Chains A and B, each alone.
Chain A
Amino acid sequence: DTGVSQNPRHKITKRGQNVTFRCDPISEHNRLYWYRQTLGQGPEFLTYFQNEAQLEKSRLLSDRFSAERPKGSFSTLEIQRTEQGDSAMYLCASELRGGTEAFFGQGTRLTVV
């Protein structure tokens, strides 16, 4: 399968714990995005990488959130000291530089209890 891959698909964690999600983009895509989607809403932009450089971060990305893309390939999104309000679907998308068609992964559904 050559699509965007996200792991894990589901994560249940206790409030206050740290969680980390991984995204493997389509291999030739150098742009990578993270979005968050809550129930009944469209995805909301969190952050964006071009290769290993994090070029934009949304105000939604609080200090407890950090994203990395160390070698310009896969990316991780970490949430520290999780809160119930962090419960959502976290979506990763990738895109070719110069393209305008972002392809999404299946998402990681986080439930904070």
Chain B
Amino acid sequence: GQQLNQSPQSMFIQEGEDVSMNCTSSSIFNTWLWYKQEPGEGPVLLIALYKAGELTSNGRLTAQFGITRKDSFLNISASIPSDVGIYFCAGQLSLGAQKLVFGQGTRLTINP
């Protein structure tokens, strides 16, 4: 089936550092979404991307939809303790495909 390869699998950083994670696929995606999940909770939508090349920000978060439509990245600037969690990329393969395909997640740990 379709897969999203998300990297890195985990990150250990100091508070205040910038973070970058990405997602790649062999398939072309129509939409890219980035979610954050905390223990025992459902994923929370952070950023949605709809067009190739699109760059979108949400506070300290910035995400881009790759030009080839096969990749996306998420950056977090000046990390703070509440950024801890698991970040998932998700994509929709085509306009007619409603379901989301998720990456394996990037676990972010921040040392104060």
Contact = CB atoms under 8 A, between A and B. Distances in A.
Contacts, number: 63
A12 B105 CA distance: 26
B74 interface: no
A106 B48 contact: no
Interface stretch (B39-47, B53-61, B77-85): B39-47
B42 A91 contact: yes
Interface in A60-113: 91, 93, 95, 100-107, 109
Nearest to B97: A56
B45 A43 contact: no
Contacts of A105: 42
Contact of B50 (A58, A95, A100, A109): A100
B105 A48 contact: no
Interface residues of B, number: 24
B34 to A, nearest CB: 11
Contacts of B31: 100
Contact of B102 (A40, A44, A56): A44
A104 B43 contact: yes
B33 A41 contact: no
* Residues of A in contact with B, size category: 20 to 34
Contacts of B100: 33, 35, 43, 45, 102
B90 to A, nearest CB: 7
A101 B34 CA distance: 10
A101 B42 contact: no
Contact of B48 (A6, A44, A50, A101): A101
Given A100-B31, A100-B48, A100-B92, A45 B101 contact: yes
Closest 7 A-B residue pairs measured CB to CB?
A42-B102, A104-B42, A45-B99, A107-B42, A100-B31, A106-B42, A104-B43
Interface of B: 4, 6, 31, 33, 35, 40-45, 48, 50, 88, 90, 92, 98-105
